[in-house]
Amino acid sequence: MSTISEKELSDYRSDAAAWFAENTNADPGFMLPLTFMEVGTDQQFNFLREWQHKVYEAGYLGAAWPKEYGGGGLDQKFQTIATEEMAKANGPIMLNAIGLNWAGPLILDMGTDEERKRYIKGILSAEDIWCQGFSEPENGSDLGNAQTKAVRDGDDWVLNGSKIWTTQGNYAKYMILLARTNPDAPNKYAGLSFFLSPMQVDGIETVPIRKLTGEYGFTQTFFTEARIPGDSLMGKEGEGWLVAMRTLEYERGVKGGQPGGYVMRASDPFEIVELARKATRGGKPALEDPVIKDQLIQLMIEARSLQLNSKRGHIQPLVQDKPASLALSSKLMATEFMRRLNEFAITLQGQRGAYYVGEPDAYDEGLWQRAYLNSFSATIGGGTSQIQRNIIGEHVLGLPKS
């Protein structure tokens, strides 16, 4: 077994730091999205697509994915270093979030060799953008009750129905899709199948959804007699529920294997210190208010705790009794923490907290207001906080089903 020396890691870090210092453009002259769920203009999309492609070509994305499918074939330690240096350079987010973090790991995990060869490189290079077809207009996040139908017709499948909250659906080339293939199955789960569906076929239409922030990023997708190839089916017909549950394990952070980078810009309590110096309370900087100072310190402690919990999740002896417990609770705590953190940043601005992006009197160009409104989407995606609490209660704590 080969071992990696500290010098190899140190040299790699130096190279990565130099590359990101030279190539990162965090301010292209227009507003960049805070997360992959707010990519709403062609300008943002093209910029982020080029950025992801550039990082991949340099070897700093997918460094630990198998070489035969387009990855770098290196140890995960190298990818971790690359992502750290990317963050230090304040690099923009990775665009193809669903491809990188859910579809890609899923295909490497459960796909065939042919599927891996067909899809993985395009996911890493951002040539092929992926979206997710799980939620439906009438059924919300109740995946087991999905009503979009897929009917076999010769060599093809014919789709009818609708999906909603499909992030980047208008840009996607492929969708990971859960559809009902047998309405007469003995239970609702047995009648579902999982597809790696092409999006650019007749009968598939996406309609952008404008959000509370004024931005786009979500779409509703309509399927009307849409014909997709038979080999779009992943796994066996009627076993889609099992594949969907594995997908959610990646989405909720229970399973690792993602290719690095990050798809969300997390707010930092240390950045609020600067805001608290500018904002005023009773004619003085808000930072001089002992209550504000105490609240800020509490938020810093929470932020540090979340970071340490994330590191604990990678130490096997600490999680061997309940392997999913930290990952499940981290998703819940981190998303709710971000919502509270941004809310606090607005509160300390006083009346000026009412200003938004584009208004001259807004602190930091309305960053905190925008981040607060956007933070709700992360508490819903992959299962709402309420669902997450139920999962933790039932599967980690062993409580009876509610």
Q: Quick one: tokens of 135?
A: 């939620």
Q: Which residue has the tokens 């002259």?
A: 29
| First vs last C-alpha separation in the chain | 49
Active site residue 336: no
Task: State the catalytic residue, choosing from 57, 115, 251, 271.
Answer: 251
- Output the six-digit token pair for 255: 């399973």
DSSP 273-333: HHHHHHSEETTEEGGG-HHHHHHHHHHHHHHHHHHHHHHHTT-HHHHSSSTTHHHHHHHHH
d(C-alpha 212, C-alpha 157), whole Å: 36
Q: How far apart are CA 77 and CA 363, in angstroms?
A: 39
Q: Taking the CA atoms of the chain, what radius of gyration do you get in angstroms?
A: 22
**How do strand 156-163 and strand 218-229 relate by DSSP bridges?**
antiparallel
Residues for the chain: how many in total? 402
Helical segments of 36-136, H only: 42-57, 76-88, 97-98, 104-110, 113-125
Closest CA to 124 of 46, 69, 42, 200: 69
Residues with catalytic function? 251
